[in-house]
Amino acid sequence: MTVRKGKPLAISIQENMAIDVCPGPIRPIRQISAYFPRGGAAGGGGGGSSLLSPLLPGAGGGGGSLSAMSSMDTSIEIDSCDSDDSTSLGTLQFDLLYERATSSLHCTVLRAKGLKPMDFNGLADPYVKLHLLPGACKANKLKTKTVRNTLNPVWNETLTYCGITEEDMYRKTLRVSVCDEDKLTHNEFIGESRVALRRLKPDQTKHYNICLEHPPPLPSPTAMSTALRGISCYLREWETEQHRSLEERGRLLLCLQFLPPSRARGGLCVGVKRCAHLAAMDVNGFSDPYVKTYLKPDVHKKSKHKTAVIKKTLNPEFNEEFFYEITFSELASKTLEVTVWDYDLGKSNDFIGGVSFGCHSQGETLQHWIDCLKNKGKKVERWHTLTNELPGSSLQE
């Protein structure tokens, strides 16, 4: 090999330590200072160079003797964007229908197009999940079947939420998410969309053809000042505590009827119809639910009634009625407590949720109680949201 002798290149030790590893000859990486003009006593030629261009030979002092060819060959990549933000996640088509008479929300998942590839073969195994927000995710999650090896799946599957009241339609949001199923590892998230249910008109089907999006980012306290960070942490803990105290644990369809005394005995008839989307209390993802009713205060401990246990389900149907012999004036000072439990063999049963009726109740339960007392002799049937706490109740089995 022939070595041409000449004037050695004036390369600083910083440039020798940083080598541009790429095919071809090894070239030193330009220093940051090369992009800024050198002014003053070094040579006075820095003023004519561009601010964002490396100095050519002779433009400045002794530190800028890189060849013009190497300066033109080497480029800096400003936008090397391989992130998912610039990648289309696909589109999803579905229909929504709210039936006011049955308090049911139907979501017909039709198809998806152009989903993001998630597997090594360039395809995906997509399925759709539904969640009602706010609420317990496990209690109200619905899921379609999985379509294998496709980016354009067709489901044509209807998922139904039971016990959706008009108040729920006003304050809740439906989260529709598309995921990729993996048998060996955890399932992967593809994209989602959120629909405010208050935009739906009762008994009218609305069609949606939406682009999937990334989930909204959570606010980070680290981006705030010290004072705001403390306030944010306090508010977050307070909201979490409030959410836990009012956590939804499912729905209960209850029928109340007050029978005025006539030829037969009068009293309150409580019909336990069914439950929907109960919280899973067992390791198999289900519960063994049953319902108990009390009319409190219960001095003699004789007002307890209990339904049969329905095994391995989150949507049990009971269709049982219980009767309390009581006058109208006595009923005004009573509270009807209805609780749902998970039966466990050999250990204490788990409390799922409950609801209470009386003059001191609020919202839907108070309205149901008033309608029952006003419409004597008529059955008044309503859906109610189960909560994990009942005011003034010991919740003992």
pLDDT digits (tens, 9 = 90+) for 48-67: 444 444 444 444 444 444 44
- Please tell me the least confidently modeled range out of 32-46, 260-274, 303-317: 32-46
Inside any domain, residue 225: no
Phi, psi of 15 (to 5 degrees): -75, -35
Strands 27-28 and 19-20: antiparallel
Inside any domain, residue 353: yes
Inside any domain, residue 340: yes
Inside any domain, residue 395: no
Rounded Cα distance between 337 and 393, Å, is 9
Residue 15 sits at the vertex; the CA angle it makes with 13 and 17, to the nearest 5 degrees, is 70
Instruction: Mark which of 156, 190, 212 sits at the end of a domain.
Output: 212
The Cβ-side half-sphere exposure at 246, using a 13 Å CA radius, reads 7
Q: Are 332 and 359 in contact (CB under 8 A)?
A: yes
Asked if 193 and 300 sit in the same domain, the reply is: no
Q: Are 356 and 365 in contact (CB under 8 A)?
A: yes
Asked if 110 and 186 sit in the same domain, the reply is: yes
The one-letter amino acid code at 285 reads G
Asked if 275 and 368 sit in the same domain, the reply is: yes
DSSP, collapsed to helix, strand or coil, labels residue 291 as: strand
Q: What is the pLDDT of residues 100-115, one digit of tens each?
A: 988 899 999 999 999 9
Inside any domain, residue 363: yes
Looking at residue 332, the DSSP 8-state letter turns out to be T
In our burial notation (b when 16+ CB lie closer than 10 A, e otherwise), range 295-331 reads beeeeeeebebebebbeeebebebebebebebeeeeb
Asked if 191 and 252 sit in the same domain, the reply is: no
DSSP, collapsed to helix, strand or coil, labels residue 239 as: helix
Rounded Cα distance between 62 and 115, Å, is 56
Inside any domain, residue 130: yes
Task: Say how many domains are in the chain.
Answer: 2
Instruction: Mark which of 167, 188, 212 sits at the end of a domain.
Output: 212
Asked if 206 and 252 sit in the same domain, the reply is: no
Rounded Cα distance between 103 and 197, Å, is 13
Asked if 205 and 279 sit in the same domain, the reply is: no
Which band of pLDDT confidence, cut at 50, 70 and 90, is reported for residue 139?
low
Return the pLDDT at 33.
58
Asked if 168 and 297 sit in the same domain, the reply is: no
Per the structure, the complete domain to which residue 290 belongs is given by 248-387
Inside any domain, residue 113: yes
Q: Are 87 and 190 in contact (CB under 8 A)?
A: no
Long-range contact set of residues 186-194: C-beta below 8 Å, sequence gap at least 24: 188/118, 189/215, 190/89, 190/90, 190/115, 190/116, 190/118, 190/124, 190/126, 191/89, 191/90, 191/92, 191/115, 191/116, 193/92, 194/133
Inside any domain, residue 188: yes
Whole-model pTM above 0.85? no
Asked if 102 and 180 sit in the same domain, the reply is: yes
Residue 378 sits at the vertex; the CA angle it makes with 373 and 384, to the nearest 5 degrees, is 70
Which band of pLDDT confidence, cut at 50, 70 and 90, is reported for residue 300?
confident
Which band of pLDDT confidence, cut at 50, 70 and 90, is reported for residue 69?
very low
Instruction: Mark which of 212, 238, 272 sits at the end of a domain.
Output: 212
Asked if 145 and 274 sit in the same domain, the reply is: no
Residue 192's nearest CA partner among 204, 177, 180 is 177
Has residue 20 got a pLDDT over 80? no
Return the pLDDT at 166.
86
Which band of pLDDT confidence, cut at 50, 70 and 90, is reported for residue 274?
very high
Asked if 153 and 254 sit in the same domain, the reply is: no
Asked if 373 and 260 sit in the same domain, the reply is: yes
Asked if 206 and 279 sit in the same domain, the reply is: no
CATH code of the domain in which 317 resides: 2.60.40.150
